[in-house]
Amino acid sequence: MGSDTIRQKGIYIHIPFCISKCIYCDFCSAPADEDTKEQYVSALCREIRQAGIEAEQKGENRTASTVFFGGGTPSILRSAQIVEIMNAVREAFRLTDDAEITMECNPGTLTKEKLETYRYAGVNRLSIGLQSTNNRDLKNLGRIHTYEQFEESYIEARLAGFNNINVDIMSAIPGQTPEKYAENLRRVVALKTEHISAYSLIVEENTPLYDMVERTHGRILPSEEDDRRMYTMTKEILGEAGYNRYEISNYAKPGYECRHNCFYWNRTEYLGFGIAAASLSGNRRYTNTSDMASYLANPIHNRAEEQILTVEDEMEEYMFLGLRMMKGVDKTEFARLFGKDYDEVYGDITRRHIEQGLMAAEGSRLCLTDIGIDISNTVMADYIL
């Protein structure tokens, strides 16, 4: 890939623990005892340090400009364990002076002491999983917290000096109406948070929610029409409040876009550590084992899947990841990255989408229109060669 991807690297750290699993969650996460958590942190630090040693031996780039703690609920760990992990990261990699270091956290797991320790460890961005300001919604989702607990955590985070906070909210929750969702949005906007991730609830197989939806033939979910109304409300209310929509589900005040997540969509190199963590290194994608026992026994050699990407694979990814961004993709950059003329590869498909009003062109840049975003999965599927 280009020189910009050589200079930058992101680090993802998976913390697979939570207090209790939400009914909609299909992530690699589960409750665990303190001994398991301690063993996991030790294994995680071993994996991180070994990656740094191997990169140095190979003469590879060890500079990272983002670190992202995801889960699960990373804030479930003791604050000393977060310090231990960050020490391992700094030993293995060179963090840039302006590195974005994000901690996902849930209300009910944050304390003043934890927040102060996160700041000490270098964490400078929080992502708080609110999901809804309505306590009935939270109960329906199986969340462990109330909105009042979220407010307490949010205020404590501000007092601890965090000035870059994302809040996750969710639409199409069982029993939710467009009116209640609009109230959610306005209450979150009133917080003046820097970033908002707004997702429509996805019913995943092998979750309790999926079974509930099947049993009720979908009646517990808002109608498709109400779901679309909520989607439109998100764009309108957040746009009016000064949030820039820079990705299909992400909105930020100017300058507060999540750099780490942009790495995913721009196909910038990132390394994932911990069980089920994914990585992109050059033209290789690989994923760690999701089996806890296997990982604890050998965190160094634990890959469950590895794929060598062909040029065609990389072109496909460039398109269906890049089109998630409001800025879209660039034909000139495409030619630079892949040594192929964009129109020779995707010209016919793109012209058809432009004629149908699903995509727009401005110079060499192409992006989805509002209509295209509405059916983005269908549009992106056309770019699979």
pLDDT of 201 reads: 78
Percent of the chain with pLDDT over 90: 77
> What are the tens digits of pLDDT across the range 178-232?
999 999 999 999 999 999 999 987 666 666 655 665 666 566 677 888 888 999 9
Which has the higher per-residue pLDDT, 379 or 108? 379
Residue 193: CB partners within 8 Å, gap ≥ 6?
Answer: 154, 165, 166, 167
Going by C-alpha positions, the residue among 89, 95, 104 that lies closest to residue 157 is 104
> What are the tens digits of pLDDT across the range 64-109?
999 999 988 999 999 999 999 999 999 999 999 999 999 999 998 8
**Dihedrals phi, psi of 274, to nearest 5 degrees:** 105, 170
Q: How far apart are CA 218 and CA 227, in angstroms?
A: 13
**Dihedrals phi, psi of 211, to nearest 5 degrees:** -65, -40
Residue type, 231: Y
User: pLDDT band for position 4 (50/70/90)?
Assistant: very low
Mean pLDDT of 226-255: 95
Residue 207: CB partners within 8 Å, gap ≥ 6?
Answer: 23, 24, 25, 26
For the record, the structure tokens of 339 come out as 């040594």
For the record, the structure tokens of 362 come out as 């401005």
User: CA distances (Å), 112 to each of 79, 105, 162, 269, 294, in order?
Assistant: 11, 13, 12, 34, 35
Q: How far apart are CA 129 and CA 193, in angstroms?
A: 13
Mean pLDDT of 348-376: 95
All domains of the chain in start order, with CATH:
3-265 (3.20.20.70), 312-385 (1.10.10)
Q: How far apart are CA 334 and CA 182, in angstroms?
A: 39
pLDDT of 245 reads: 97
Can you give the pTM of this predicted structure? 0.92
> What are the tens digits of pLDDT across the range 263-292?
999 999 999 999 999 999 999 999 999 999
CB 373 within 8 A of CB 323: no
